[in-house]
Amino acid sequence: MDRRKFLRGFLLAPLAAFAAGEVTVIRNAKILTVTKGSFDGSILIRDGKIAEVGPTVTAPADARIIDAGGQYVMPGIIDCHSHIGTEAVNEGTVTVSSMTGIEDTVDPEAIGIYRALAGGVTTANILHGSANAIGGKNVVIKMRWGKGAPEILLEGATPGIKFALGENPKRRGGGDSGLGGRLRYPATRMGVEDVIREAFTDARAYKAAWDDYRTRAAKGERLIAPRRDLKLEPLVEVLEGKRHVHAHCYRADEILMLLRVADEFGFKIRTLQHVLEGYKVAKEIKEHGAGASTFSDWWSYKMEAFDAIPYNAALMHKKGVLVSLNSDDAEMMRHLNQEAAKTIRYGGLTDVEALALITINPARQLAIDNRVGSIEAGKDADLVIYDKHPLSNYAKVQKVFIDGEMYFDRDKDMSERAVKAARRRQLTEKQKAAAAPARPAGGGRRPQ
Amino acid sequence: MLLAAAGAIAHGQSGSPEIYAIQNATIHTASGPIISSGTIVVRNGLIESVGSGADVPAGAWTIDGKGLHVYPGLIDALSRWGLPPAADAPASRPAAAPTAARRGGGGDDSPSNVQFQDDGGPEERPSNTSWLKAADLVQPNDPALTAARNAGFTTAVVFPPTGIFAGQGSALNLGGGRAGDMVVSSPVGQFLSLSVRGFTSFPGSLLGSIAYVRQVYLDAAHYKSAKAMYTQNPRGLQRPAYDRALEGVLESPRLLLPASRKVEIDRMIRFGRELKNPFVLYGGSEAWRAADSLKAAGVPLLINLKWPERDRESDPDVVDSLRTLEIRENAPAGPAALAKAGVRFAFYSGGVERPADIRRAVKRAVDAGLANDDALRAMTLDAARIYGLDDRLGSLEPGKIANLFVTDGDWLAEKTAVKMVFVDGKKFEPAAGGQTNGPA
């Protein structure tokens, strides 16, 4: 094989050794199903799905066998708040940027996707940033490294949209704000609420205009159709319950504000993101039916993030809120298992409850738990093999499967590093030489 | 070189003869096989005949082409030649002092009477001059046009360069004279950049610029149908508001979308289809990985001849990512990969400033595997095809516009000199015995 092609290939190709359609058995594993107990056993994978899981499975004679060597297998980690794999995050120039969507800027070749895989993450909720009260549309992706943008989207995931409360959306600009000298609305938490109310009031009117048009046009009336408005269409979907709201928030007061506004307009907040003061209003969150996706112990990076405690996740969980732990960060994303482990120290959660915070709970929050989030027959074969218990600091990801395909293999990664480094050196030298002046220019040499 | 007047000389408006015949030359038609010793006859700005046995009409100026090569005039498929220097980014409405507060309690927010600006979104048509046409902006005396012509370029497809909806391109012949005389076709397309305007002006991100373009095309379709309904019978209908930004979009027969990396090429193929307008991609630095995508989509690509390279001023200690290194290494192999896959493509000057450097950049693609005649087509016939102008430009065929250039050797060889250039049948001779491809 031509060396260049070989290199190109492994830069971006999935490890296709275990293609969908074949039967694969992972055996000799300590299996942490999260929903159906933990036991020593095997997992049978067929057509990318978990076909069977238990102490023993009935495997056909020609099945590919992966011996886990007594290591741990858990469901692929799900990060409910991430900004990897996209070329843009914030459209912060407008108070409502719901006309934008991450689907437009997905970069399936962003290295963060591969690194997330190496941290055991197989699925992530890729959100718009928090610059505006109502932000852009999100996508849920699987880390199908090597596939194109449409192929890494999780098929059938409910669409969503980002909201943001508090300090980020109310940064009004001007002076030395870093936003330039211009001022933008809103500048207060009251203004944030106003923006949301006004946007949904507009969305109701927009829906009414279209309903009116359709009714009258159906009767044969001669009418010019209303203009389609890409800003308001997603908000109409929120009102109709067809689009999830993922709301960035910190303080208890603003959380209650948003829940009241949503109740008033008749829609649901699907998840509260960050929600560092959620422990103060867990009862209200539970009553509204919102999920909470928080950090384990990351706070005090700005005023609204000071009144935080590491017991937040456990306290909300014990009040009956559906809780997940997220990263919001490409680096933290690679050790969410350790973040989950902290809830055992802070809050006394069990191993299974801790693992649920990064697997089945975010799957439920994103309404994709029919596909992912636990090791159960019928679900996608999204699996991670760790050498130690994943809640141990010493655990390292060994292999990662998505839809039964192996997308990360630690041994392979390690063995390829020398070849890549050599190619990098070779090209660097070649291109440095090409960029050097061929001969001294008439005006003298450029300083080296 | 021998110039012989045969019989009576007919003079054109500019004082040059109306009929030329170049004899005994190697003729590269771009549309058919190379004619090793042929004659090409030019009359009244058009090609009259091409062939090994073409008759020389009475009254023609004959040019002995022995040892010379005749090629179709080169086309810069996406050019800025002839336009005034780029001004600041246009604003569709003046970005002046804060206007009266549009929301938020009348702006009486504090003793300083703070007034907020909401820059609005797509409805304000920011960064949009879609109605501009290069044909209306071109400066026929721009020295860049002469320099390009001296290097064998006879046509440039010139686009206004600034903004997200930058404006409409025009195919211009580089014969000088009045601007109107230069126009071959206009408009030929809308130039889109997806550029961003910083953190305070929409769009401030790629998210916003894509959403903006999508909304404008939806608005344009709505505008078109609303206007049609209103024109048919205005009674009882509210008048659709005139929108010059949408007029410009609707006038454009195709759009040009930026796409350099493979991810961008795939993204813009999806986006272009969504916009329901014919489209062409430009950029193509990672075309070597995208031939299959482009072939499957049947989308043509304009390739920037400014090949990515390490910046001479860059910190010598900086080690680039393997991905960046591979793009630089493989970009010039992109055209060969596209030719092999059967993808239509053309070259454009992009960031290459000197015309002599343009052909040197083409040579790099040839060195990376592109056939010489495929390279020629990428600068002539295929450029014309992409803009639907191959019925008049791009090859040496009877009836087409007499745009051609004559050299003393292979067009890509370093020492080859351009001896003559014909634009609309008008002969130009580069000064100092012809411009070579060598260092300028």
d(CA A51, CA A381): 9
- Please name which of B286, B265, B281 lies closest in space to residue B328, comparing C-alpha atoms: B286
- Please name which of A358, A400, A409 lies closest in space to residue A381, comparing C-alpha atoms: A400
- From the CA of A308, how many Å to the nearest CA of chain B? 30
Instruction: Give the per-residue pLDDT at A184.
Output: 79
Find, in chain B, the residue whose alpha carbon is nearest to that of A104: B207
Task: Inform me whether the C-beta atom of residue B117 falls under 8 Å from chain A C-beta atoms.
Answer: yes
Q: Low-confidence residues of chain A, pLDDT below 70?
A: 1-21, 174-182, 437-448
Instruction: Give the per-residue pLDDT at B185.
Output: 98
B278-288 pLDDT tens trace = 999 999 999 99
Alpha helices in B133-205 (DSSP H): 134-137, 143-150, 179-182
Q: Per-residue confidence at B196, pLDDT binned at 50, 70, 90?
A: confident
- The secondary element (H helix, E strand) that includes residue B163 is none
Task: Inform me whether the C-beta atom of residue A58 falls under 8 Å from chain B C-beta atoms.
Answer: no
Q: Are the C-beta atoms of A53 and A375 separated by less than 8 Å? A: yes
B45-89 pLDDT tens trace = 999 999 998 789 999 999 999 999 999 999 999 999 999 886 544
In the A/B pair of chains, how many CB contacts fall below 8 A?
A: 183
User: Nearest 5°: phi and psi at B282?
Assistant: -135, 150
Q: What percent of chain B has pLDDT over 90?
A: 79
Task: Inform me whether the C-beta atom of residue B272 falls under 8 Å from chain A C-beta atoms.
Answer: no
Instruction: Give the per-residue pLDDT at A180.
Output: 61
Q: Are the C-beta atoms of A170 and A187 separated by less than 8 Å? A: yes
Please give the ipTM for the structure prediction: 0.93
Among the partner-chain residues A94, A150, A224, the one whose CB lies closest to the CB of B119 is: A94
Instruction: Give the per-residue pLDDT at A436.
Output: 75
- From the CA of B309, how many Å to the nearest CA of chain A? 7
Q: Are the C-beta atoms of B395 and B72 separated by less than 8 Å? A: yes
Going along chain B from its start, the domains and CATH numbers come out as 74-86+129-394 (3.20.20.140)
Task: Inform me whether the C-beta atom of residue A148 falls under 8 Å from chain B C-beta atoms.
Answer: yes
Chain A positions touching B309 (Cβ under 8 A) are 431, 434-435
Going along chain A from its start, the domains and CATH numbers come out as 1-75+373-424 (2.30.40.10), 77-369 (3.20.20.140)
d(CA A245, CA A257): 15
Chain A positions touching B95 (Cβ under 8 A) are none
> Under 8 Å CB-to-CB from A446, ≥6 apart: which residues?
A437, B312
Instruction: Give the per-residue pLDDT at A284.
Output: 98
Task: Inform me whether the C-beta atom of residue B323 falls under 8 Å from chain A C-beta atoms.
Answer: yes
